[in-house]
């Protein structure tokens, strides 16, 4: 199979791969810039960080690459509008958003001439997004890491969305290598978003202990927890998730006010930050469903070489 370009608005990525925007401080400038340098679309995760930090990360990514850099901001965060406007003012190449749905962001993007790409989990929401002015949609299945908007497989949802809209469709959830990317392209996707594979890269900003915990995870270690955001989320079993299973009181004594609406069962930003900094017992480690298939930490360049080789060597009978 030839490697197709991914076109979103006026943007053209030579490799049809978007790196997932993983909060908190997992997907930052070093990772996003490295992905962009390889011909993919690099994404900075803007959720859970101050506006000033997001601006600096965007500028740092720009210093590192002339490639395509986007920002992913969860609709659920309290400072959603402020973070989005800051990213747009910095002339980011595209805006990605999930964990809820904002109608306003399409108008904001149009005003600045910047493509807006929502993360959706149904053909219905994809059609609405197209009507509102989305430049593309990322379709996320239950195999994804972090917050989940569906209990259906990407392989079931993807064909429905492709048939429902005329804008580019990017598949997400459970894709870890070039063969996975090729299969999604064969199904009709215009590209693929990959998160967990890039989490286990040298350029990812998480602590080595965090990466090693992902690397040693088995299929049995993958769990679904109930996030304060009000959605199920996938992560790695550890002492903290055991406490959640046991209904232990893990509520925070201090609210950081990070979410528009918080169920208060625990402080998600604190737990994600703890894990990112290396506290793998008390922190929350998000992960995709197929993390157990990833066997080593690689550079972004090595990951892209694997992706390109997997696409080029793909045979249709492998579907």
DSSP 8-class letter at 219: G
The residues of the chain scoring below 50 in pLDDT are none
In a domain, 62, yes or no: yes
H or E stretch at 208: helix 208-215
User: What does the block give as tokens for 172?
Assistant: 């997400």
pLDDT averaged over the chain? 96
Instruction: Please tell me the predicted confidence (pLDDT) of residue 194.
Output: 98
DSSP 8-class letter at 291: G
Q: Which of 220, 168, 217, 170 is nearest to 196 (CA)?
A: 217
Q: Which of 183, 213, 168, 141 is nearest to 314 (CA)?
A: 183
- Identify whether residues 124 and 28 lie together within a single domain: yes
- Identify whether residues 53 and 159 lie together within a single domain: yes
- Identify whether residues 152 and 60 lie together within a single domain: yes
User: What does the block give as tokens for 22?
Assistant: 């993983």
- Identify whether residues 161 and 299 lie together within a single domain: yes
* 216 contacts 313 by C-beta, under 8 angstroms: no
The string of DSSP codes covering 66-108 is SSEEEEE--TTBTTHHHHHHHHHHTT-SEEEE-SS--SHHHHH
User: What does the block give as tokens for 212?
Assistant: 């090693």
Q: How many domains does the chain have?
A: 2
- Identify whether residues 166 and 282 lie together within a single domain: no
- Identify whether residues 177 and 94 lie together within a single domain: yes
Domain membership of residue 107 as a residue range:
6-205+295-318
pLDDT in tens, 225-260: 999 999 999 999 999 999 999 999 999 888 888 999
Diameter of the chain by CA atoms? 56
Instruction: Please tell me the predicted confidence (pLDDT) of residue 317.
Output: 54
In a domain, 299, yes or no: yes
Instruction: Please tell me the predicted confidence (pLDDT) of residue 162.
Output: 98
- Rounded to two decimals, the pTM is 0.95
Helices 80-89/104-112 angle, 10° precision: 10
Instruction: Please tell me the predicted confidence (pLDDT) of residue 222.
Output: 97
CATH code, domain with 99: 3.20.20.70
In a domain, 48, yes or no: yes
In a domain, 1, yes or no: no
H or E stretch at 307: helix 300-312
pLDDT in tens, 294-319: 999 999 999 999 999 999 999 865 55
In a domain, 247, yes or no: yes
């Amino acid at each position: 199979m030839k490697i197709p370009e991914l076109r979103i608005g006026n943007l053209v990525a030579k490799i049809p791969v978007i790196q997932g925007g993983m909060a908190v401080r997992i997907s930052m400038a070093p990772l996003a810039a490295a992905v962009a340098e390889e011909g993919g679309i690099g994404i900075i995760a803007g959720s859970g960080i101050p506006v000033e930090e997001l601006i600096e990360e965007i500028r740092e990514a720009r210093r590192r690459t002339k490639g395509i850099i986007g920002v992913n901001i969860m609709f659920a965060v309290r400072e959603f509008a402020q973070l989005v406007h800051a990213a747009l003012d910095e002339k980011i190449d595209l805006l990605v958003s999930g964990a809820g749905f904002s109608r306003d962001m399409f108008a904001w993007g149009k005003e600045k001439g910047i493509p807006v790409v929502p993360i959706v989990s149904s053909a219905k929401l994809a059609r609405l997004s197209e009507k509102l002015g989305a430049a593309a949609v990322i379709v996320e299945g239950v195999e994804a890491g972090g917050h989940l908007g569906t209990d259906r497989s990407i392989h079931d949802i993807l064909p429905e969305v492709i048939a429902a809209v005329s804008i580019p469709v990017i598949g997400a959830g459970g894709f870890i290598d070039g063969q996975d990317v090729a299969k999604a392209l064969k199904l009709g996707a215009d590209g693929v978003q990959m998160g967990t594979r890039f989490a286990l890269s040298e350029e990812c900003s998480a602590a080595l202990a965090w990466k090693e915990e992902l690397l040693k995870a088995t299929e049995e270690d993958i769990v679904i927890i109930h996030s304060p955001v009000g959605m199920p989320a996938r992560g790695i079993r550890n002492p903290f998730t055991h406490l959640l299973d046991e209904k232990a009181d893990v509520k925070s004594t201090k609210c950081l006010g990070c979410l528009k609406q918080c169920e208060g069962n625990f402080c998600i930003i604190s737990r994600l930050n703890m894990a990112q900094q290396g506290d793998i017992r008390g922190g929350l480690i998000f992960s995709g469903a197929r993390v157990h298939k990833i066997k080593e930490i690689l550079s972004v360049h090595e990951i892209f070489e694997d992706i390109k080789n997997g696409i080029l060597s793909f045979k249709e009978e492998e579907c």
